[in-house]
Amino acid sequence: MSPSVLAQDPTLADFGQDPWWLVLIKVVFAFVFAVLATLLGVWFERRVVGFMQVRPGPNQVGPLGLLQTLADGLKMAFKEDILPKAADKVVYFFAPTISVICAVTALSVVPFGPMVSIFGHQTPLQVTDVPVAVLLLLACSSLGVYGSVLGGWASGSTYPLLGGLRSSAQMISYEVTMGLSIVTVFMTAGTMSTSGIVAAQGDATRLTVFGTEIPAPGWYAILLLPSFIIFFIATVGETNRAPFDLPEAESELVAGFMTEYSSLKFALFMLSEYVAMVTMSAVTTTLFLGGWRAPWPITLWEGANSGWWPMLWFFGKVITLVFVFVWLRGTLPRLRYDQFMRLGWKVLLPINLVWILVLSGLRSIEDWDTRGKVIAVGVPAGILLLATLFWPSRRPQPKPTPQEQVDNRPHGSFPLPPMDLQVPPSPRITRVVAEREPANIVAGSDSREV
C-alpha cells in the first residue's frame, strides 16, 4: 500500500480529540442513517421481492414508490393504540424502545470511512472506537433480544409469550456461533478495535497460481471463508429474518411477540428489525469485507481509499448484503424449529470449533505471514462447508398410498372416514326418500304416458 493510503487509517489515538459539535454531527448522522436505511430498506425489500414474484411492488406514492414506506409509517402512527388488559404497562411500553436503542447503538463503533476533513478538523468517519469495540457489538446484539422477550412476556397472552421464548432460545444458540466466528478475526487481526480490523484488511496478498503471482484482497471473507459463511448465517438467525423468522411465525404464532402491539409500538418493533438488519450488514462489512476499502479493480485508482469516496464503497457493500437478506426471504421456506436448532448446535458450532483449531495450528507455523497458505486452506474449507450445508442428507422417500397410510396408522388412533369419502346417509333422509319414491314413480309413469 502507498504511504498516502496508510495515512488515512485512523487509530485509537485519533478518537476523543473532536470538539463537542463535531461529535454531535457524527451521532446525528448515525441516527439519520439508521432511520433512512429503514425507510429505504422496507421499500427496497418490497421492490426486490416484487421483482422476484413478477409483480410491480410499491409504485404509486412518490417516484418509483419511494414514499410508500413513509406513508405506511404515518398511517401506523394514527392508528388506535390498544393496551391489553392483562399487560404489564411499564414493561409493555419500554420493550420496543429497548430493541431500537440496542440496534442503533451498535452503529456508534462502525467505521464509515477513513480520516477526513470536516470544517477544518481532521476526524475519522466513525462516532467512536474502543479497544474492545467488537465486544460492544456483541453486547448490543445480545441485549436487543430483551425487547422481544419482555414484549412477549408483558403482553399477557400465550402467542406473544411463545414468540418471546423462541427469541431467547434463538439468541442463545446463534450468539455462541457468532462469537466463535469473530474469534478467528481477533486471531488474524490482533485487535478487537473495528478501525484496527479494517486497517488489517488493507494489506494485499500475492497468490501464486500455476507459477504466476496474482494480487488478492486481504479481506477476511476470503482469508477466513468458513468464518465468514458461519457468521453470516448466524447473523440471519440473530436478526429473526427468514428463513429463521421463527419468533414471528404467522402460521404458528399469529405474529409472535408482536401480536398484541399496535400503532407506534408495533412500528418500533418493525423499525428495530430493519435497523438490526442494516447494522449487522455494516458489521459484516467491517469484519470480513474490508470495511470502507474499495474492492478490486477500483483499488487500481490511487485515490480510491482516501477522502469521501470510501463511504460509497461502504454503502455499496451494505446494500449488497441487504439484498442477500431479501433474496433469502424471497427464496427459502421457513425452517422447522427442530431443524433450526439442529443447524446451530450440531452443524455450525462443531465446524466453527474445528476451524478455530485448524487456524490456531496454522498460526504456529513460522511462515504465518504468508497469507496464501491460509487462503489455500480456508477457501477449500469454506467450499466444503457450503457443500455440507446444502447437500441433501437423504434420498426422498416415495409417498405412501392412502391405503398404506391407513394400514400404518397407530393402534387406538381416531377412526378415519371411508377412503371413497362416501358418508353413510342419514336415517331421516332415507325415510323421506322412501316415502316419496312411490309418488315419483307414479308421476314418472304419467308423464311417460302423456
Name the residue ranges covered by the structural domains of the chain.
80-390
Residue 200 clears pLDDT 70, i.e. is over it: yes
Paired strand residues for 116: 123
Residue 209 clears pLDDT 70, i.e. is over it: no
121: phi then psi, degrees, rounded to nearest 5: -105, 130
Task: Determine the residue type at 343.
Answer: L
At residue 26, the pLDDT reads 92
Q: Which residue has the higher pLDDT, 253 or 49?
A: 49
Residue 417 clears pLDDT 70, i.e. is over it: no
206: phi then psi, degrees, rounded to nearest 5: -105, 115
SS3 227: helix
pLDDT digits (tens, 9 = 90+) for 37-62: 888 888 999 999 999 888 888 888 88
- pLDDT band per the 50, 70, 90 thresholds, residue 423: low
Span between the terminal Cα atoms of the chain, in Å = 108
Q: What is the DSSP letter of 305?
A: T
Q: Which residue has the higher pLDDT, 383 or 221?
A: 221
Q: Which residues contact 301 (CB under 8 A, 6 or more apart)?
A: 294
Q: Which residue has the higher pLDDT, 231 or 302?
A: 231
Q: What is the DSSP letter of 209?
A: E
| Contact yes or no for 221/228 (Cβ under 8 A) | yes
- pLDDT band per the 50, 70, 90 thresholds, residue 445: very low
Q: Which one of 219-233, 256-270, 297-311, 355-369 scores highest in mean pLDDT?
A: 219-233
| Contact yes or no for 154/92 (Cβ under 8 A) | yes
Percent of the chain with pLDDT over 70: 78
Task: Determine the residue type at 115.
Answer: M
* Residue count of the chain: 450
| Contact yes or no for 217/300 (Cβ under 8 A) | no
State how far the Cα of 104 lies from the Cα of 30, in Å rounded to an integer: 8
Residue 1 clears pLDDT 50, i.e. is over it: no
What average pLDDT score do residues 168-174 get? 81
Q: Which residues contact 77 (CB under 8 A, 6 or more apart)?
A: 263, 264, 267
Q: Which residue has the higher pLDDT, 277 or 364?
A: 277
Q: Which residues contact 322 (CB under 8 A, 6 or more apart)?
A: 41, 44, 277, 278, 281
Residue 198 clears pLDDT 80, i.e. is over it: yes
Cα–chain center distance at 136 = 19
| Contact yes or no for 255/339 (Cβ under 8 A) | no
Angle at 146 between CA 164 and CA 230, to 5 degrees: 85
Q: Which residue has the higher pLDDT, 157 or 366?
A: 157
Paired strand residues for 27: none
Residue 366 clears pLDDT 50, i.e. is over it: yes
Residue 78 CB neighbour total at 10 angstroms: 9
For 328, the grid coordinates are: 433469502
Residue 220 CB neighbour total at 10 angstroms: 23
Q: Which of 81-85, 121-125, 348-352 has the lowest mean pLDDT?
A: 81-85
State how far the Cα of 77 lies from the Cα of 97, in Å rounded to an integer: 15
- pLDDT band per the 50, 70, 90 thresholds, residue 138: confident
- pLDDT band per the 50, 70, 90 thresholds, residue 313: very high
Write b or e for each residue in 317-351: b if 16 or more Cβ atoms lie within 10 A of its Cβ, otherwise e: bbeebbeebbebbeeeebbeeeebbebbeebbbeb
State how far the Cα of 111 lies from the Cα of 118, in Å rounded to an integer: 16
pLDDT digits (tens, 9 = 90+) for 390-403: 665 566 677 777 77
| Contact yes or no for 147/269 (Cβ under 8 A) | yes
CA neighbours closer than 13 Å in the CB half-sphere of residue 122:
9
Residue 216 clears pLDDT 80, i.e. is over it: no
Paired strand residues for 205: 216
CA neighbours closer than 13 Å in the CB half-sphere of residue 440:
6
Average pLDDT, the chain: 79
Closest CA to 227 of 373, 375, 372: 375
Residue 274 clears pLDDT 90, i.e. is over it: no
| Contact yes or no for 147/315 (Cβ under 8 A) | no
Angle at 179 between CA 177 and CA 185, to 5 degrees: 115
Percent of the chain with pLDDT over 90: 12
- pLDDT band per the 50, 70, 90 thresholds, residue 288: very high
Q: Which of 65-79, 219-233, 365-379 has the lowest mean pLDDT?
A: 365-379
